[in-house]
Amino acid sequence: MDNSIQAHQKELCNKLWAMANALRGNMEAYEFKNYILGMIFYYYLSDRTEKYMANLLKDDGISYEDAWADEEYKEAVVEEALRDLGFIIEPQFLFRKMVKMVENRSFDIEFLQKAINALMESTLGNDSQEDFDGLFSDMQLDSTKLGHTVKDRSAVMAKIIAALDEINFGVEDTKIDVLGNAYEYLIGQFAATAGKKAGEFYTPSGPAELLCRLACLGLTDVKDAADPTCGSGSLLLRLKNYANVRNYYGQELTSTTYNLARMNMILRGIPYRNFNIYNGDTLEHDYFGDMKFRVQVANPPYSAKWSGDLSFMEDPRFNEYGKLAPKSKADFAFVQHMVHHMDEDGRAVVLLPHGVLFRGAAEEVIRKHLIQKLNVLDAVIGLPANLFFGTGIPVCVLVLKRERNGNSDNILFIDASNDFEAGKNQNILRECDIDKIVETYERREDVDKYAHVATMQEIEENGFNLNIPRYVDTFEPEEEIDLNEVAAEIRKLQSEIKDIDAELKPFFDELGLDFPFEVEGK
């Protein structure tokens, strides 16, 4: 990306965030995001429709509006658009038409609702129906949080439409990337202001980049990639920066975030046929079924509760381990899920709390099975504390590989906990920190106070406890103290004290006061 586009993108991001803050009023940022992101998404679909129609009709020399007015043309363009785009926005509902209505003060929120309804209806019976179903359900246009009357709510949405129209979204050839990156930026900004709620939908840029680089190392083409706890889809989408990913699969528990993930996929230019995002509890209902993936990345909720029902002992994801993850800590259940869905050369990279490395009981049994029986644990990487929204706990990265390419007799440990930039509210994993981790992972050799390649014998001798300090010694010896030097310093100070006492005593005598210290020779 050249400097002019980068500068434009930065300016665009700042304008969008300023707009979001100016318009949200008393609404919480995490609630208002549904309206801002929803309208940016509608803007994108409208813009995409117009460009598609202009290209489709250029040889006929007629406008989209004229084609829509002709029944024969209308039928043809609808069929083409549904096949290629998976949706259609009627000419009367295009974003620019709404801008005109705002300008002449004829816009009302009920018209916007009609536009959204028409868009959703256009997908019914089409292959894209599932991908669009309920996409705008969180943009509740009748919510009193938006305004107490239709007029008030219309005014807020009119301001959003006008503000978006004023923003120059960029150069024609790069528009999708610039808009997509701006959308990603807004998701991150909303996450930063949402506190603990942010963890539900967003993994910060540094850890996300690390996971994706590790997952795609040595790969150029990935047929299927998945994230079993995909949030807004940002982590999953980041994989395309490092490999040509053909199909994306994700599952997300929260319906609002599930909608955000699908919007994110479409807005980043992923064709509806090339992604499948499911809404549901990953552990309780595995929508991936029999699918196997070359690459998986995940940042699951840390130490989440799950049912841990005994019936899961029959589930192919868990049945070979002999134990289920504790009901109060589902961390290993997510790992088992990912291992089950790895293909014959699959790799999975997952962020987890450090407890998975050393906790006993059922978790120890599962850990031992992953290492000794399946031999899929390739590396353990400790990250700095306070990298994530809503939690200050340090986390680790587990790198799991089905085919370990000659490393089946060892596990790499990296302690990267001291490499970061201290931020105001949270620490930042810098590009240089990520490079160091990835390069160390690639070289796979001992680095003093940073990395150690542990043999399976070492792991066994440690009782399959993977606590990083057992393998990477970061102890810094204290500087040796020269006792003779200290004694000389004490004698010097005592001599100085005596001299000061001798100077002070005459003043006490003059005032008729007892001098509190002994003076030598007096």
pLDDT one-digit tens code per residue, 247-274: 999 999 988 889 989 999 998 889 999 9
Measured between alpha carbons, how far is 416 from 310 in angstroms, rounded to an integer?
38
Measured between alpha carbons, how far is 3 from 9 in angstroms, rounded to an integer?
10
**Greatest Cα pair distance in the chain:** 121
Q: What average pLDDT score do residues 422-444 get? A: 90
Q: What is the pTM (predicted TM-score) of this model? A: 0.83
Q: Which of the four pLDDT bands, split at 50, 70 and 90, describes residue 202?
A: low
Tell me the range of 381-390, 431-440, 508-517 where mean pLDDT is highest: 431-440
Query: What residues does 381 pair with on adjacent strands?
Result: 397, 414
Q: Which residue has the higher pLDDT, 508 or 53?
A: 53
Inter-residue contact 338 to 251 (CB < 8 Å): no
**405-414 tens-digit pLDDT:** 889 999 999 9
- Cα torsion 364, 366, 368, 371 to 10°: value is -140
- Between strands 244-252 and 221-227, the pairing is parallel
Nearest CA to 296 among 216, 204, 386? 216
Burial class of residue 224 (count of CB atoms within 10 Å of its CB; 0-12, 13-18, 19+):
buried
Measured between alpha carbons, how far is 112 from 233 in angstroms, rounded to an integer?
26
In this prediction, residue 138 carries a pLDDT of: 87
Query: What residues does 352 pair with on adjacent strands?
Result: 396
**60-116 tens-digit pLDDT:** 889 999 999 999 999 999 999 999 999 999 999 999 999 999 999 999 999 999 999
Does the pLDDT of residue 477 top 70, yes or no?
no
Cβ-proximal residues to 413 (8 Å cutoff; 6+ apart), any chain: 379, 380, 381, 382, 451, 452, 453, 454, 466, 468, 471, 472
Measured between alpha carbons, how far is 14 from 186 in angstroms, rounded to an integer?
9
Query: Can you tell me whether residue 510 is helix, strand or coil?
Result: helix
Long-range Cβ contacts of 313-317 (<8 Å, 24+ apart): 315/286, 316/340, 317/286
In this prediction, residue 175 carries a pLDDT of: 45
In this prediction, residue 520 carries a pLDDT of: 66
Q: What average pLDDT score do residues 221-228 get? A: 97
Strand order in the sheet with 244-252: 275-279, 244-252, 221-227, 293-298, 342-353, 395-401, 377-382, 410-415, 451-455
Q: In this structure, which amino acid lies at residue 187?
A: I
Inter-residue contact 350 to 397 (CB < 8 Å): yes
Give the up-direction half-sphere exposure of residue 240: CA atoms within 13 A in the CB hemisphere. 15
Q: Which range has the worst mean pLDDT, 50-59, 360-369, 422-431?
A: 422-431
Does the pLDDT of residue 8 top 70, yes or no?
no
Inter-residue contact 206 to 434 (CB < 8 Å): yes
Mean pLDDT of the chain, nearest integer:
88
Tell me the range of 17-26, 368-377, 426-435 where mean pLDDT is highest: 368-377
Instruction: Work out the percent of the chain whose per-residue pLDDT is above 70.
Output: 90
